[in-house]
């Protein structure tokens, strides 16, 4: 038998665990992001070629579809596979991502959040959005870099 003062704490803990299990995952579905499997997006990268100056570019990618991979930062969140286009001396590359906001995604093999847009859109991150991304660790020095060499 539990001590009298332990019973309420156990009930509170049980309720908290149940609420956590019912809480929505931290990620957007394709429908919420306004996308569909086979759709095209662009992800903004800072490219650092072996020879030459670093530059930013929007990298085209095809949304392959759902992935069975889990994001340890957001268990249960919807995860999707992207196929980045071959370009600028880089081969096609597949990656898994979680859409976190209308123009933000977390690529599972990157520490920083990246910005994205639908292919063909003219959307650019505003200075205030860029500053917000920097405060989260994205967009600043060392962030969003294609670190392979050409």
Q: Structure pTM?
A: 0.69
Secondary structure (DSSP) of the chain: ---TTHHHHHHHHHHHHHHHHHSPPSS--HHHHT--TT-EEEEEEEE--SSS--EEEEEEEEEEEE-S---TTSTT---EEEEEPPBTTBPPEEEEEEEEETTEEEETT-SSEEEEEETT------HHHHHHHHHTT-SSTT-SEE-S--
What pLDDT does residue 115 have?
96
Does the pLDDT at position 135 exceed 50? no
What pLDDT does residue 69 have?
95
Give the tens place of pLDDT for each residue, 78-112: 999 999 999 878 899 999 999 999 999 999 999 88
């Amino acid at each position: 038998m539990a001590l009298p003062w332990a019973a309420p704490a156990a009930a509170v803990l049980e309720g908290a665990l149940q609420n956590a299990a019912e809480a929505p995952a931290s990620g957007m579905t394709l429908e919420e992001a306004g996308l569909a499997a086979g759709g095209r997006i662009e992800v903004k990268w800072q490219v650092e070629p072996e020879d030459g100056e670093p530059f930013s570019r929007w990298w085209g990618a095809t949304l392959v579809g759902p992935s069975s991979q889990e994001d340890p930062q957001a268990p249960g969140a919807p995860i999707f596979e992207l196929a980045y286009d071959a370009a600028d001396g880089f081969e096609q590359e597949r990656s898994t991502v979680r859409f976190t906001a209308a123009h933000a995604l977390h690529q599972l093999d990157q520490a920083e959040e990246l910005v994205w847009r639908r292919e063909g859109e003219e959307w650019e991150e505003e200075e205030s959005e860029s500053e917000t991304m920097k405060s989260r660790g994205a967009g600043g020095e060392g962030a969003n870099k294609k670190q392979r060499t050409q």
